[in-house]
Chains A and B, each alone.
Chain A
C-alpha cells in the first residue's frame, strides 16, 4: 500500500508528540556514552540504559534481549556504527516483516477485525472503511458484534460518518450468518470489500474463539479464500499479554496483521515489536486519534525514526 508523504509526516508528528512528553532520551544516553564507549563498564551501563528504554516501551524482556544481543555482537567488532544507529537498524529489521502476499482477485474481499474487549475494534472498522474508500475501494461494513450492548448502534454511527452502508444482525443473533448475508449484499450492491466488526473476546475463552473459527468457515464458503485479511486490534497500552493474545488469535483466527490502536497517548505499543520479532506478524495500521481520518497505514521507518531521533 502506497504511503503518501502527508501520512508519513502525520504518523511522525503523532509519535513525536508522544515522544516529547517523555523524559528519556536515547540520544542523551547514546551521547553520554559516545565519548567513552571503549570502557567495558561504560558499555555495560549504556546497554543497561537502552534495555530499560526498550522495557519501558513494553518491548518485553525476550525481544529486548534479542535486540541487545544483535548489538552486542556488533559491538565486539571494532569500529561499528554509533550505538543509536545500531539499535535503530535492529528494530527496523524486526519490524520490516515481509509484506502480505498480493491480494487474490476475490470479490468481495473480506476483512475481519478481531481482538480482546476494549481495544478499539468498532472504531477501527469505521476508520478503515473511510480509509479504503479514500483509496478508491467501495467498502461495506458488517456489524457482527451481537453480544455487547449497543455495539451495533455504535458501529452504525461510524458507518454514517464514513458514508458507508452497513449490514447488521439483531442483538444476540448468529454472527456467522450475518457475515454470510453481508457478503451476499456486497455482491448485490457491487461492493468490493466487506469489513467485519466482531465482538471483543478474551483469548482465554475457548468457546468464543471457536465462534471466530465458525465465522471463518462460513465466510470461506461464501467467497473463495475468505477472510482475506484478519486484523488483530491491539491496544498500544497493552503489556506482555499482547504477545499471548497475538499467538492465540493467530492460531485460532488466522490473524495476518496488527492494528495498533490508541497510539496517541503516551504508550508506545512496543509489544508489537515483540510480536513482529516472535510471530512475524506485521503492523498494518495505527490508530492515532478519535476522528474518522485517524487511522494510518503503518510505516516501520517512520515509527522507528520518530521514536529514536527524538527524545523518548
Chain B
C-alpha cells in the first residue's frame, strides 16, 4: 500500500542522486515534490508542513551540501524523519501475567472492527493462545450475528449471552466465561461510533470500567483522508488507545492517514489487515515499511514469508533431493510451489532491495506464467522430471497436450532449465566461502538460478 508513495520517493531521489553537488535550489525542488506526494497520499497537511520544514532544516546545511555524498545524505535525512513519523515498534500481547487479557477493538463505523476481531483471534490462536470473541455491538442490526457466523466458519469460540444486555454487561459476561473455561484472551468487538457522539463515547468508558482492557486497539481504514487525525485524536483522548490496526491495506490507498495518526496521536500501528481471508492480518514493523517505501527492500519480511512457506512444505511428503544432488525439474516444481505460497510475485520482488521498480509493470513477471510452468512439469512422468533428456518429440507433444500449453512452451521451459542447471553448476563452486547469513537466506529461498540454491 505504501508502495505508490515509495515509487514517488524513488523518482524524486533519482532526480537528485545524479548530482555531484547539490544546490539549495535543487533540494527545494525535491522538497516541493515530496510535499505533493505526501498530500496526495492523504498525509495530514499539518504533518506535511512540519515534515517538510524539518527535512529542509537539516538538508539545507553546508555540512550536508558540501559533503562528498550530498544526495545520499538527503535521502538518509528523509528516511530518519519518516521513521520518526512511523514511531517505534511496540510488542503487543506481551506477557502481562494477568489472565485473561482483554483486547478492546474500537473505531468509526465501517472501519472493519468485526472482521479484524475474527482475524486477530485467528492470529492469536496461531501464536498458541486461546482467544474468546464477544460482540458488544447491540446497535447495528445483525452485528452480533456477523461475528457469530465468522466465528463458526473458522471454528473460533464466540461468547453470546442469550439476552441482549448492555455492551458493558456483555463484555463482563465474556470475561467471566473466559476465566471459567480457561481462555487467555478476550477480544471485545465494539459498535462503530462517531468520535463526536458523546453518548456512545461514554459507553466506551462503561465497557472499559467493566473489563479493564489490557489493549485498546483503534481500527482505522487505510483509505481515510484528512479527518483521520481528528477522529483518532478524539478516540485517544476519550479511551487512551494503545495501538492502531490498519485495515483495507489491499486497496490502492497510499496510507498517509495512518502516518498522520501515528505522528499526531503518537500511538504505533501494531497490525495491518490486507485481504478478506482470515489469515490476512500481519504484525506491523515501521522500519521495514520505511525501507520498502524508499526502495531499500524488505529482506526480513521476505525471509519470514519464506520460512512460513517452507514450514507449510514440510507437511507434505518429503520428495528429497534426487540422487547425486543434481538440480532436477522436481526441485524446480517444489520451488515454484514454495514461491507461490509466499505471496504474489510482484509483491515479493518489491521486498528485494532494488527490485521494487523492476516489478512494477513488467509483463515478464506474470504469476500465470508460473502456473503454466507448473502445469507442464505436472504433466511429465517422474522419470521425465528427473531426466529431462528423455523428452523427445512425441513426449513433448504429449506433455503440451496434457498441460494445455503448446510444444513451443514446453521446448522453452526445457531449454531454460538446461541453462539454469549449467549456470547453477558454475556458480555453486563460486558460492563457497560466502557469508553464512547470505547463504542461509539463499538456501531457504531456493530461488531457481540463485547461487547456492541447493547444496
Chain A proximity of B231: nearest CB distance (Å): 7
A241 touches B141 (CB 8 A): no
Residue numbers in A under 8 Å from B236 (CB-CB): none
**Which of B251-259, B283-291, B376-384, B446-454 touches A?**
B251-259
Chain B proximity of A243: nearest CB distance (Å): 10
Chain A proximity of B448: nearest CB distance (Å): 29
Residue numbers in B under 8 Å from A153 (CB-CB): 141-142, 145
B110 touches A119 (CB 8 A): yes
Q: Which of A118, A242, A270 contacts B109 (CB 8 A)?
A: A118
**Considering only CB atoms, which chain B residue lies closest to A271 in the complex?**
B225
Residue numbers in B under 8 Å from A120 (CB-CB): 109-110
Q: Which of A235, A244, A266 contacts B110 (CB 8 A)?
A: A235
B252 touches A241 (CB 8 A): yes
Residue numbers in A under 8 Å from B41 (CB-CB): 240
Chain B proximity of A101: nearest CB distance (Å): 31
A265 touches B194 (CB 8 A): yes
Residue numbers in A under 8 Å from B126 (CB-CB): none
B224 touches A237 (CB 8 A): yes
**A148 interfacial by beta-carbon distance below 8 Å:** yes
B45 touches A242 (CB 8 A): no
Residue numbers in A under 8 Å from B227 (CB-CB): 58, 236-237, 265-268
**Which of B146-154, B181-189, B309-317, B394-402 touches A?**
B146-154
**B140 interfacial by beta-carbon distance below 8 Å:** yes
Digitize A158-190: 1 where CB-to-B-CB distance is under 8 Å, 0 elsewhere: 100000000000000000000000000000000
Give CA–CA (A156, B250) in the complex, Å.
30
A150 touches B149 (CB 8 A): yes
Digitize B186-202: 1 where CB-to-A-CB distance is under 8 Å, 0 elsewhere: 00000000111000000
B196 touches A266 (CB 8 A): yes
Residue numbers in B under 8 Å from A241 (CB-CB): 42, 223, 251-254
Q: Which of B36, B143, B250 contacts A204 (CB 8 A)?
A: B250
The 10 closest A-B pairs by CB, nearest first: A239-B225, A118-B110, A157-B141, A239-B42, A149-B149, A153-B142, A267-B227, A154-B142, A150-B146, A58-B225
Residues of B within 8 A of A (CB): 36, 39-42, 45, 108-112, 139-143, 145-150, 153, 194-196, 221, 223-228, 230-231, 248, 250-254, 256-257
A-B contact pairs, 29 of them (CB 8 A): A58-B226, A117-B110, A118-B111, A118-B248, A149-B145, A149-B147, A150-B145, A153-B141, A153-B145, A154-B140, A154-B143, A154-B146, A157-B142, A158-B141, A202-B248, A203-B251, A235-B221, A235-B223, A237-B108, A239-B228, A240-B41, A241-B42, A242-B225, A266-B195, A266-B196, A266-B227, A267-B230, A267-B231, A290-B139
Beyond A118-B110, A241-B253, list 6 extra A-B contacts (CB 8 Å). A237-B221, A237-B227, A239-B42, A266-B230, A266-B231, A270-B225
